[in-house]
Structure 1
């Protein structure tokens, strides 16, 4: 079982998000879902040159907010939803003295949906 986020991890994550391009990258990855997106598409969508994009993705990965995997010649990046939820939980911990009903704040926990099954994935099962 993974430990809950601590202050040092929260500061590191918030520092990584406290930059306009990194925040835009992270939001794009969250919107993309668990399948992720390759670096070239991120750069195209946000108008970031490869070297700049690489720097920002490295910062987000070092903060634990982004994961990557190799698929052929492409590197696919995805948001780490558990880390995001832990950060949100850390920020909301003890909200309204432990009574979230008193905060009038919606639940922020994100549970990304699994990608829709297509005929191709159904046949491979």
Structure 2
């Protein structure tokens, strides 16, 4: 994962509402969750929720899929894995780490 992509994703997850949305979606699994469910579970006004979801979509952490009249938000587990790998490979690995 590129530094710019990782920074954008971490920035979006740095907002408490966006982190709560993403956490809820990850718990929902690969099928994601309808926007209405997110709104009810997190008690976020629709316009505010739309703004936060758009930011998560722009960062690549979430995709949206419409099924009839229902709009689903689907967590992108590959993007999440990319962030975790970025931290582990780029930030946590060091020849200087002591085992003492």
- Please, which runs of 5 or more residues in structure 1 have no aligned partner? 103-125
Matches of 1:35 and 1:9, distance apart in 2: 24
Q: Residue 86 of structure 1 aligns with which residue?
A: 82
Cα shift readout 1:59-97 (whole Å, capped 9, x = no counterpart)? 000000001100000110111000000011001105343
Q: Residue 25 of structure 2 aligns with which residue?
A: 29
Q: Residue 120 of structure 1 aligns with which residue?
A: none
In terms of fraction of residues, the more helix-rich structure is 2
Matches of 1:14 and 1:50, distance apart in 2: 23
Runs of 4+ in 1 over 4 A off after TM superposition: none
Q: Residue 9 of structure 2 aligns with which residue?
A: 13
TM-score, normalised to structure 1's length? 0.73
Cα shift readout 1:5-26 (whole Å, capped 9, x = no counterpart)? 1100000000000100000000
Q: Residue 116 of structure 1 aligns with which residue?
A: none
- Tell which structure's C-alpha radius of gyration is larger: 1
Q: Residue 97 of structure 1 aligns with which residue?
A: 94
Counterparts of 1:106-125 in structure 2 under 5 Å? none
Aligned alpha-carbon RMSD (Å): 1.3
TM-score, normalised to structure 2's length? 0.90
- Please, which runs of 5 or more residues in structure 2 have no aligned partner? none
